[in-house]
Amino acid sequence: MKKYTVGVIIIIALAVLGWYYVDTQRDTQGTGTETGVIAQEALTEADVATLSELIVGTWRSTDDASSEVVFNEDGTTVDVYDGEDLAQGTWDLALGAGTEYQDTGIVLTTTINGEEYRYLVWDLNEANLVLNYVERGNTLSYTRVEDVQ
């Protein structure tokens, strides 16, 4: 009985280690992100420029399909709800280095009606945008809205 119990414990330990390895490899391959957060270690101004081009467009909330945010190429932004423009302002992406967010990678700052809002960019690619609102720590997830021609 003792050998059986030891064998089961070893199998469970190997399964957990195998799952951890596979999960870690999946999170770091092909997306440019590490565990859902844009890799911070080697970000440059060129990366910021690339991400600034990538963020331009219309993004729909994954939590509320009526909520959209538009980032325009000219640095303006519009919050839209149920097709109605609610607020307009400006946006900017920057490296967190040299700021209170220096360990966070890329920071999105929006200014709406004179109020400044800061978000950590956790993920940004052709299809998805994931932000963490610094003030409250809540996560905002969006999918890109395809342009209708």
Among left, alpha and beta (phi > 0; psi -120 to 50; other), residue 59 is beta
Q: For every residue of 7-53, which 3-state class applies, written as one string?
A: HHHHHHHHHHHHHHHHHHHHHHCCCCEECCEECCCCCCHHHHHHHHH
Domain borders along the chain are: 2-30, 37-145
Residue 139 has pLDDT above 90, yes or no: yes
pLDDT number for residue 91: 96
What is the C-alpha to C-alpha distance for residues 147 and 74, in angstroms, rounded to an integer?
Answer: 18
How far is residue 90 CA from its own chain's centroid? 19
**If you count them, how many residues does the chain have?**
149
| pLDDT: which is higher, 42 or 107 | 107
pLDDT tens-digit profile of 14-71? Answer: 665 555 555 544 343 333 443 344 555 566 777 788 888 999 999 999 999 999 999 9
pLDDT number for residue 106: 87
How far is residue 142 CA from its own chain's centroid? 9
pLDDT number for residue 145: 95
One of 3.30.70.141, 2.40.128.280, 3.40.50.720, 1.10.540.10 is the CATH number of 37-145, namely 2.40.128.280
Range among 36-50, 65-79, 105-119 rated most confident: 65-79
pLDDT number for residue 97: 60
What is the C-alpha to C-alpha distance for residues 19 and 17, in angstroms, rounded to an integer?
Answer: 5
Under the banding of pLDDT at 50, 70 and 90, the label for residue 148 is: low
pLDDT number for residue 39: 52
